[in-house]
Amino acid sequence: MDTDSVKQLETSLKGKEIGHKIHFLNKINSTQNYSRYLLKNCGLPLHGVVVIAKEQSAGRGRMGRKWISPPGGLWMSIILQSWLTPKRIPIIQFISALAVADSISTLTSLECTNKWPNDLLVRGKKICGVIVDVDFEGNNANQAIIGIGLNANFSANNMNDLENQIKVSRLTTLRDELGYDIHLLNLTKLILERLEYYYSLLKEDKIKVIIEIWKKRSDLFGRVVTVEDGKDIFHGLAMGVDDNGVLEIKLSDGSVREVLFGDVNLSIKPYRLNDQPDLASN
């Protein structure tokens, strides 16, 4: 990707809601921070504006984590300023992950699965993460910045970062999975087009439809998972996701715990719903 090809991409998306204007940077600390800077300083409407960087020096992940962002990846933020009602906000992460999953499936033979709330996995390893930064004024959001980090044309072996070594072993990239490099510009175009499509569903409040599509791409449900919600670590049966994007976990005492925020991982043994899981032993 370079300035010229990104200009062509921008031209091809003219008139669309998402991607009609694209800022392309060789290196930045974080496209999320740069988008925030635009929102603070630009004064113009920025709905649908996209920021892409070749490399990030301080990429941000969820829960305060660092996001390793070498050249070859897709490091992209998308600014939203319209249609942000409170019930739509938590669904933005699902439509973003779906847009990426659809695009990878269209352009490659890889099978992507969704992991709540917004990770994409290939063969159980994380290939893409999504973060959504929201600015609220009272109950209403003024703006949201979607951040998409897709490990594409580099190898996970090159993600040398001592601090994150253990995590790195759970990551993969398109290059590692495919054995070749993907045309990043075509992939980006598709992601932005799919995001526009899912955003149109969201604007019509077709949240149930979105969640059902998202669930079809997930292998979490009916399985015992381990949840880390920032306060506790606990196990339970993943039951579903409600219309607010909340994950429902059935605990061993039969009660259902709602998880709004956190990380979830499959427990090692893949129980199905009609088995009788001994949750205490997981």
Do residues 88 and 144 touch, judged by C-beta distance below 8 A?
A: no
Distance CA 259, CA 165 (A): 28
Distance between start and end Cα atoms, the chain: 45
Put residue 251 in one of left, alpha, beta given phi > 0 → left and psi -120 to 50 → alpha.
Answer: beta
To ligand BTN, the closest distance from the beta carbon of 53 in angstroms equals: 7
Identity at 13, one-letter amino acid code: L
Q: Which uninterrupted H or E stretch holds 102?
A: helix 92-107
167 or 206: CB nearest ligand BTN? 167
Among 16, 128, 122, 11, residue whose Cα is nearest residue 76 = 128
Do residues 88 and 205 touch, judged by C-beta distance below 8 A?
A: yes
Length of the chain measured in residues? 282
Paired residues of 35 in beta bridges: none
Do residues 185 and 11 touch, judged by C-beta distance below 8 A?
A: no
To ligand BTN, the closest distance from the beta carbon of 65 in angstroms equals: 6
Distance CA 242, CA 210 (A): 11
Residues at the site binding ligand BTN, with contacts judged by CB under 6 A: 30-32, 56, 59-62, 65, 67, 69, 75-77, 119, 129-131, 147-149
Other CB atoms within 10 A of residue 128 CB:
26
